[in-house]
Structure 1
Amino acid sequence: MRDQSDAVAGSRAQGALLERFRLTRDLSRDLVNGLNEADMTVQSMPDASPAKWHLAHTTWFFETFLLRDQVPGYRLFDERWPFLFNSYYEAEGARMARPERGLLTRPTVAEMLAYRDHVDEAMTAALPRLMERHGDLVEMGIQHEQQHQELLLTDIKHLFSRNPLGPAAYPAGDGAAGADVPLRWITGTEGLAEIGSDGEGFAFDNELPRHPSWLAPHALANRPVTNGEWIEFIADQGYATPSLWLSDGWDWVRREGVCTPLYWRGQGGAWEHFTLSGWQPLDPHAPVTHISFYEADAFATWAGARLPTEQEWESAAQFRDPLSGVQLDRADGVTPHAENKDGAFASLFGNVWEWTGSAYRPWPGYRPAAGAVGEYNGKFMSGQFVLKGGSCATPRGHVRASYRNFFHPHQRWQFTGLRLARSL
């Protein structure tokens, strides 16, 4: 009887994983519906990648780490393509330089989609065998593709923003202008707190191991900083006051001529921002987004506060619903907007990735995953800062309290914002 129950449970788990694989692969295709060949080929800056490269690279991940390595007799779709679609895995050999991905006018989008069909068919057939020993790697492939779905959206947004016509990639969503939510301070956990993945469900290696951390008395804001508050920062000469800025940040502001968040234009009461639905009026109550760590830190100083530590943020979020908030459910309406549906806290999950004041470094006892996939996180633990919580472009179900996103302090083309903290 027990063997029969185990078999039924195994069959259900296999079916659930196959369904998640299918839905994830389908969403990637949905995100490029309406884009033309040129939209999917052009690369607007070295940090971004063309949309068709994202489609191919996520397929390369499944082909390389699962089909090629774990399925006897599998033959690569095209033996030349691993050079094109490897991202940064040194163990997988030579690869095309990241800033040159936009030169790939060939293979065509149609060939990319044929590649996806080929790999999807092989993965579907092999999944029962893969589940026996490599279910975690299948799950990692799904999670990896979800990360690239967000990157695809942010890269398309940057590309379209450079077009003087201000084209829309997707129709405008129903995120109507919100109401003002007064800022309140919520006292955080004090003393010993457990940080890191609790072992329930999938986690990347950089979320491990779970470990104790000591938190000093502190409080977090009940919501992210808003566009309206950022306009006040601009009006008060926030971008022209060196005492608010870290030295590297002040050098960056002067060198790049930064005076607003990315994608803003206008002044006074006529601010607009560029969205995936083209240029739209700025909602003063919505969370500010597309700001760098330098800007977030300067604003916090101006506001008489600071950025939360990663541990403070995680301790506030670990008992809250990670499925809540404004997250990606479909390919339209990808814009942060005001909402307060998470009890005392608004938007701990979704809307904007929230900068913390914590450097991206390993947890005590960290061990990278075995093999080439061990290059996924650990080798980037230098010179970057942690962001938490996900954004409006993060597929719902992808993030959790222990999830650690990370970027360099000057980067801001992702949906990045901030929540204030203060010491008590």
Structure 2
Amino acid sequence: MAAADVLDCKALIKRYTSTRDATKAICSPLVIEDFCIQPCADVSPPKWHLGHTTWFFEELVLLPYISDYQRFDEKFSLIFNSYYKSAGAHWAQKNRGNLSRPTVAEIYQYRQKIDALVVALLETAISHEIVAIVEIGIHHEQQHQELLYMDIKYILHCNPCSPSYSKAPLALASTVRQSWRSFDKQLVDIGHNGEGYAFDNESPQHKSYLNGFSIAENLVSNGEYLAFIDAGAYREPKYWLSMGWDWLAESGITSPLYWRKLDGEWYEYTLHGLAPLDLNAPVVHISYFEANAFANWRVCRLPTEQEFEHYLRSSEDLSASKKSAVFHPLRTGDTAGQVWCWTQSHYSPYPGYKPFEGKLEEYNGKFMCNQFVLKGACVATPINHYRHSYRNFYQAYQQWMFSGIRLAKDIE
């Protein structure tokens, strides 16, 4: 093995082990009873995330590249395969919380065994193909780290005792003067430029024509959103998409996901516990339906993903790489890294899109239907995982992710 390959191998092993350790660290504040809870179909139990991210490396790294490899447990493939049809049958997502076994201890043993084998493989049989798949696996695990924060928050909020995940104090947000940034009509580059890591759905980079537009330099705050509620907008069909109005009627939703009104005062559940609603903090856990309705109420609109990416690139602010012990958005003036912002763009393939090969072909392309793109990262996005070409995506009704609103408008 060449000296350069050895150095690359050591760096990759370090990134692999640190990523795997970070997942365990996210779960460290939990008690054993927290690991198995699944309050709704969108949320997965924390122990499932621990098992699935391990299955990913066993299935895509160890099984193809170690001759005569014997699985840790043949039943784990059924339980921990998420949606890869080419990898065989998988357990229904909505039923993940019904499984008391394997135990949390067994899943941690599974992680330890697979980690040892992956590291041993990287030390002895490095290749460009293996490096590429391990790299995808690392970023896949980072996606699940963000999902863990989302799911843990939902699990804990369902408890009437409002338990805290983090003991760190939650400071009050400061006021930020509202401002807008304008862009002339122009032809711009959209998508990943080929430098560094990116998922397949970020490529290829291509040209996109933008009409003149303005975009808010500030995220919509809780105070602004409360004005929307107080104006009776949840009872006014003119602001809502037809499907959004039906969603309100069916769900009974009248506010963002974690808002609670107690004795006439608004509170918000956070990973730091229940706190009085901070009017200056960014509104978070908003569905596309709500974001679109708010924009209509303000006589604005949501940005397209192309407009948003061009705005992000013009600032080069990668705030998602600046982390603290606070797991709640507090700054409305940040360009990125506080909340994932909804765009009005449907999640679709770029011109010339080519999916990953093999089993990974199912990674992104199969979800390009009935979803909207979000941009900008959030407080739960792992360090160095984010880039401005990143395309997050969710269905219009979903609220449990760290989603918020940045407004846009046309320039006449």
TM-score normalised by structure 2 residue count: 0.96
Matching of residues 221-300 of structure 1 within 5 Å: 221-266=216-261, 270-300=265-295
Closer, same or farther: CA 250–192 of 1 in aligned 2, 3 Å:
same
Q: 2:122 aligns with which of 123, 127, 136?
A: 127
Letter of the structure 1 residue corresponding to residue 310 of structure 2: S
Aligned partner of 1:167 in structure 2 is: 163
Closer, same or farther: CA 77–367 of 1 in aligned 2, 3 Å:
same
Contact 1:296 1:417 in 2 (8 A): yes
For 2:48 and 2:357, how far apart are their aligned partners in 1? 26
For 2:227 and 2:321, how far apart are their aligned partners in 1? 25
The 10-residue stretch of structure 1 (288-297 or 6-15) with the greater mean CA deviation from structure 2: 6-15
For 1:245 and 1:268, how far apart are their aligned partners in 2? 29
Deviation at 1:177, TM superposition (A): 1.2
The 10-residue stretch of structure 1 (295-304 or 274-283) with the greater mean CA deviation from structure 2: 274-283
2:318 is paired with a residue of what secondary structure?
Answer: coil
Aligned partner of 2:362 in structure 1 is: 375
Contact 2:337 2:377 in 1 (8 A): yes
Aligned partner of 2:341 in structure 1 is: 354
For 1:415 and 1:324, how far apart are their aligned partners in 2? 15
For 2:312 and 2:354, how far apart are their aligned partners in 1? 24
For 1:322 and 1:377, how far apart are their aligned partners in 2? 26
Letter of the structure 2 residue corresponding to residue 59 of structure 1: T
Q: Which 4+ runs in 1 deviate beyond 4 A?
A: 325-329
2:52 is paired with a residue of what secondary structure?
Answer: helix
For 2:219 and 2:243, how far apart are their aligned partners in 1? 24
Deviation at 1:333, TM superposition (A): 2.3
Contact 1:194 1:212 in 2 (8 A): yes
1:148 aligns with 2:144: yes
Contact 2:139 2:385 in 1 (8 A): yes
Deviation at 1:75, TM superposition (A): 2.0
Aligned partner of 1:158 in structure 2 is: 154
Contact 1:322 1:401 in 2 (8 A): no
Aligned partner of 1:423 in structure 2 is: 410
1:338 aligns with 2:331: yes
Closer, same or farther: CA 121–319 of 1 in aligned 2, 3 Å:
farther
Query: Residue by residue, what CA displacement relative to the aligned partner does 1:247-283 show, whole Å, maximum 9, x if unpaired?
Result: 1111111221111100101279832111112211221
Letter of the structure 2 residue corresponding to residue 290 of structure 1: H
Closer, same or farther: CA 125–319 of 1 in aligned 2, 3 Å:
farther
Aligned partner of 2:108 in structure 1 is: 113
Deviation at 1:323, TM superposition (A): 3.5
Query: Residue by residue, what CA displacement relative to the aligned partner does 1:288-339 show, whole Å, maximum 9, x if unpaired?
Result: 000100000000011111000000000111254453258655xx52111126
| Root-mean-square deviation over aligned CA pairs | 1.7
For 1:139 and 1:389, how far apart are their aligned partners in 2? 22
**Aligned residues, how many?**
410
The 10-residue stretch of structure 1 (272-281 or 400-409) with the greater mean CA deviation from structure 2: 272-281
The 10-residue stretch of structure 1 (317-326 or 392-401) with the greater mean CA deviation from structure 2: 317-326
Contact 2:187 2:210 in 1 (8 A): yes
Deviation at 1:133, TM superposition (A): 2.6
Closer, same or farther: CA 326–415 of 1 in aligned 2, 3 Å:
farther
Aligned partner of 1:364 in structure 2 is: 351
1:410 aligns with 2:406: no
Contact 1:187 1:220 in 2 (8 A): yes
Contact 1:261 1:289 in 2 (8 A): yes
Q: 1:44 aligns with which of 39, 42, 55?
A: 39
The 10-residue stretch of structure 1 (279-288 or 212-221) with the greater mean CA deviation from structure 2: 279-288
Aligned partner of 1:3 in structure 2 is: none
Matching of residues 14-25 of structure 1 within 5 Å: 14-25=9-20
Query: Residue by residue, what CA displacement relative to the aligned partner does 1:120-164 show, whole Å, maximum 9, x if unpaired?
Result: 101111114244332121111000000101111111111111111
Contact 1:326 1:392 in 2 (8 A): no
Contact 2:9 2:126 in 1 (8 A): no
1:266 is paired with a residue of what secondary structure?
Answer: strand
For 2:255 and 2:65, how far apart are their aligned partners in 1? 49
Structure 2 unaligned spans of 5+: none
For 1:327 and 1:162, how far apart are their aligned partners in 2? 30
Deviation at 1:12, TM superposition (A): 3.1
For 2:198 and 2:394, how far apart are their aligned partners in 1? 19
